[in-house]
Amino acid sequence: MEQKVQSAKKREVMYWYLASRGVPMSLRCLCLKLAEEYAVNALARSCLPLPEHVSQLSDTSFHHIVLLTDNVLAASVVISSTVEKAANPEKLVFHIVTDKKTYSSMHAWFAINSLKLAVVEVKGLHQYDWSQEVNVGVKQMLEIHHLICSHYYNNLKEEDFEHGEEHQKKFEALSPSCLSLMNHLRIYIPELFPDLNKIVFLDDDVVVQHDISSLWTLDLNGKVVAAVVDSWCGDNCCPGRKYKDYLNFSHPKISSNLDQDRCAWLSGFALWQPGDLPPSLLAFEGYVHPIDPLWQLAGLGYRSSSAQGQILEAASVLHFTGPAKPWLEIGSPEVRNLWSRHVNLSNSFIRKCKVLLQGQSRKLSRVVHISD
């Protein structure tokens, strides 16, 4: 009996990973409704930003934040939480880069729900004049990741479900983000924003809890990237993963030059000074300036997240790395609520598509049950 219980628990973990691959119908609905609005409503197609703010897009005296995303709801949370906590929101300029299929929806959302103080720019990848070098580089990256995904998918076996978290890498390799073009374009940020000398990059699975304006005055000491490297969880603990989780240390060139137990820096929230080198663990070896671990608390999208009260409150940015993205319903309700409270539930499109409605119903049921 005990063996069957353990087997069931391991299968539950793997099914949980598989559930993370889905896109909620509410988010599909939101994207479609906004695309329809873009087609019929002139306001939804209005300029972003307004003509009088265009000069700010390249003005280095402003605080520039970059998002690469095809998730409208996630982008809205990142921006609303950042503006809400900003000491000087009028200094903020948000640059959203999205793909062609999401462009009209993303544009419509921020055109209709315009910010009073901060500036928002929305651009589609189809609006960029890419160099041949970038086109070839992106194509090669995607081809490699498609091969990796196909390898794991074709070799997925029944026994993988029996090994639980031991084989979670196979399931993470099948994650949509692994094959997402948006996920890989961060290494081309210098190409996207050649006129900016410093930007803050935010992943779309983060929520900002405190003012982050001091980052723009941070001295990088000649480095290219500032990111969280050390951990909030103490010695022998990484905020994300170690080098051995990403690189093949059986190769002598890797093992002789890198420490497999070294913590990998977290790229989902980082201060960038655009340079010539692509941001990866290998290319940026020696070019990363470490910042205080409490700037970013990662790992909130994992079942085993150990973050508690004071640490959650102290972190400037909460990062839902892991399968349980906050727009899904498979994560911890308590942690997920730190993100969902920034969703504008009074918005007509949010209401029509019943975004987060099911999660709210379950929360209400639990409260009533406890009260009873």
Give the separation between CA 308 and CA 130, rounded to whole angstroms: 44
Greater pLDDT, 239 or 219: 219
- pLDDT at position 368, please? 32
Exposed e or buried b per residue across 250-269, where buried means at least 16 C-beta atoms within 10 angstroms of its C-beta: eeeeeeeebeeeebbbbbbb
Task: Determine which of 88-97, 150-159, 191-200, 203-212 has the lowest per-residue pLDDT on average.
Answer: 150-159
- pTM of this structure: 0.82
pLDDT for 269 beyond 60: yes
pLDDT at 332: 79
The pLDDT of residue 369 is above 60: no
Handedness of CA 250, 253, 259, 263 (dihedral sign): negative
Q: What is the pLDDT of residue 14?
A: 63
Q: Residue 265 carries which DSSP code?
A: P
Answer yes or no: is pLDDT of 185 > 70.
yes
Predicted local distance difference test score (pLDDT) of residue 367: 32
Task: Reply yes or no on whether the pLDDT at 157 is more than 60.
Answer: no
Tens of pLDDT along 35-89? 999 999 999 999 999 999 999 999 999 999 999 999 999 999 999 999 999 999 9
Residue 364 has pLDDT above 50, yes or no: no
Q: What is the pLDDT of residue 166?
A: 47
Sign of torsion, CA 170 174 177 183?
positive
When the candidates are 3.40.50.300, 3.90.470.20, 1.10.1040.10, 3.90.550.10, the CATH number that belongs to 2-229+265-353 is: 3.90.550.10
In angstroms, what CA-CA distances link 23 with 19, 20, 128, 177, 244?
Answer: 9, 8, 27, 12, 30
* CA distance linking residue 180 with residue 205, whole number of Å: 14
Domain boundaries, the chain: 2-229+265-353
Per-residue confidence at 187, pLDDT binned at 50, 70, 90? confident
Query: What is the CA angle 25-155-18, rounded to 5?
Result: 25
Structure tokens at 301: 């999208």
pLDDT for the residue numbered 282: 66
For the cut 60, the answer to whether the pLDDT of residue 176 exceeds it is no
Average predicted confidence (pLDDT) for the chain: 80
Of 37-41, 327-331, 361-365, 368-372, give the range with the top mean pLDDT.
Answer: 37-41
- Mean pLDDT on 260-276: 70
